Amino acid sequence: MSDFLLWWRLALRRFAVMLVKELKQLGRDRVLLAFIVYAFTADIFLAASGVSLSLNHAAMLVQDMDRTPQSRELAARFAEPHFQQGGVVTRDAQGLAALDRGEAMIVLSVPPDFGKHLQKGEPVAVAMQVDTTNSVLGFLATSYAQEIVARFGLESAMRRLGLAGGAAAELPQAANEVRVWYNPNQEDSWFMGISEMLNIATVFAVLLPAAAMVREKERGTVEQLIVSPLTPFGILFPKVVSMTGVILCGVALSLFLVLMPVFAIPAKGSLALFFALSGLYVFTTAGLGLFAATIARNLAQAGMLSILILAPMLFLSGAWTPPEAMPAWLRGLMFVSPLHYYLDIAFGILLKGQGVTELLPAIMGMTAIGVGVFAFGLLLFRRQFD
């Protein structure tokens, strides 16, 4: 029994000195510290306030070959804030050239006799050329334009039937009444801010333990540790614990200093639960960092390997693309990205106010994959010393 107690006392003493060492080392690395603070504050602020997924001020040119009140009215309906009219063109080639040069995103061509056809009650088409290099914006521009043209057509038709103004309301129509939940003002900043915070936490969860481990390799201090009675687990456990602590501080910083006060994110659920699960996520994801540190010989290699690991992880998480939009085989892969579950958990707690019961599947998925990843990292790390 006393042997057992002695063993624990020794193990705890070793853990404590190693933990203190890691924190001191990180505390003296001013550059890394500044980078961490920047990433968890300014970067998240920029992502939340700057990145928007809506169509704003899309540059537009009009080729009006009709020059009637009807054609002018249609063109005028493409207005701020979605569209910004940049002038007129007279020939087809001009419009195409403007698209090629990137000066315009949309060129609307109204054919000759557009007004005449409308007055006669004949169907007529307008041509619309859209630059869809950015597929999201292109898609939005196309759908807005379709809606504007369709409404214009409907109203012209009704006017011709003599149903102007209030009379239109008496027509049989289905109206769409939307209730917006969880993000009532549909603010991009909420989604972008939280996603960015989780992405940053993921990046550091991989990078920091990898860097801390590789630094020891580079300096040769790791050999000093291997020769000591420390086990491989005893070497890396304090590292991962201290780095997890640092990252949780970073998450707290961005949540309490940026997201909640500046962007009024409500944090509806239990913050304790959020931090506990964040801790679990960061700790298990560190396994990937250990994997990188095992293979890499120096800091530069570890950094590049981490990027290689992180890129598919972030891409498969659903933070950048909704899972439903992905092809089926990729959607299957998403279930192995721990960030995918963490994302569900974070949005669930912060915006929806979910608790353990609602999040249980996500928590279990994240735990299972995380433990697997950490065990994998640990196994590889140990094997390099055998």
Partner 1 sequence: MNDEIVIRATDFGKRYARHAAVCGLDLAVRKGELYGLIGPDGAGKSSLMKAVAGVLAFEEGRLEVFGLPVGSEREAERVKGRLGLMPQGLGQNLYGDLSIEENVDFFARLRQVPAAEAAARKERLLAITRLAAFRARPMKQLSGGMKQKLGLVCTLIHAPDLIILDEPTTGVDPVSRRDFWAILAELIADQGLTALVSTAYMDEASRFTRMSLLHEGRVLAEGAPQDILALAPGVLVQCRVEPQLEAISRLAADFPQCEAMGPDIRLFAAGLDEAGARAAVAQRLAGLPCQRLDVMEPELEDVFVAMLSRQGAAAATAQPVSAAVANAEGLAIEARGLSKCFGEFIAVGDVSFQVRQGEIFGLLGANGAGKTTAIKMLTGILPPTRGEGRVAGADMKQAGALIKSRIGYMSQAFSLYLDLTVAENIRLYAGIYGLDRRRRDSRLGWILDMAGLHGHENDLASSLPMGLRQRLALGCALVHEPRVLFLDEPTSGVDPLGRRAFWDILFRLSRVDGVAMLVTTHYMSEAEHCDHLALMFAGKVVADASPEAMKQEVIAEAGQLYRLQADNAAALVRPLQEHGFANVSPYGAALHVLTREPERLRKTLAGMGVPADLRERPIAMEDVFVHRVSQLEAASRKGQP
Phi, psi of 87 (to 5 degrees): 120, -170
| DSSP reduced 3-state for 58 | strand
Q: Which is nearer to partner 1, 6 or 167 (CB)?
A: 6
Q: What's the closest the beta carbon of residue 381 comes to partner 1, in angstroms?
A: 15
Distance of CA 57 to the CA centre of its chain: 23
* Part in contact with partner 1 (CB under 8 A); list of ranges 12-20, 41-49, 296-304, 344-352: 12-20
In angstroms, the Cα distances linking 9 to 5, 13, 17, 22 are: 6, 6, 12, 20
C-beta of 335 vs 385, nearer to partner 1: 385
Exposed / middle / buried, residue 179 (Cβ in 10 Å: 0-12, 13-18, 19+): exposed
x/- map, 17-56, partner 1, by CB under 8 A:
xx--x--xx--xx---------------------------
223 sits near partner 1 (criterion: CB under 8 A) = yes
* Alpha-carbon span 27 to 34, nearest angstrom: 10
The two three-digit tokens of residue 95, written as one number: 């419009």
In whole angstroms, give the CA distance from residue 151 to residue 297.
64
Nearest distance, CB of residue 332 and partner 1, angstroms: 39
Strand-pair category, 127-130 with 106-110: antiparallel
| Residue type for position 181 | W
Contact between 10 and partner 1 by CB under 8 A: the answer reads: yes
With contacts defined by CB under 8 A, name the span among 77-85, 205-213, 215-223, 300-308 that binds partner 1.
215-223
Which residue of 175, 178, 227, 272 would you call a contact of partner 1, by CB under 8 A?
Answer: 227
Give the Cα separation of 141 and 51 in Å (integer).
18
The correct pick among 154, 164, 226, 375 for binding partner 1 (CB under 8 A) is 226
Residue 11 beta carbon to partner 1: minimum distance, rounded to whole angstroms: 9
Among 57, 67, 120, 219, binds partner 1 (CB under 8 A): 219
For 187: left if phi > 0, alpha if psi spans -120 to 50, otherwise beta; the answer is: beta
Choices 6-14, 54-62, 190-198, 342-350; region in contact with partner 1 by CB under 8 A: 6-14
Residues at the interface with partner 1 (CB under 8 A)? 10, 13-14, 16-18, 21, 24-25, 28-29, 219-221, 223-230, 385-386
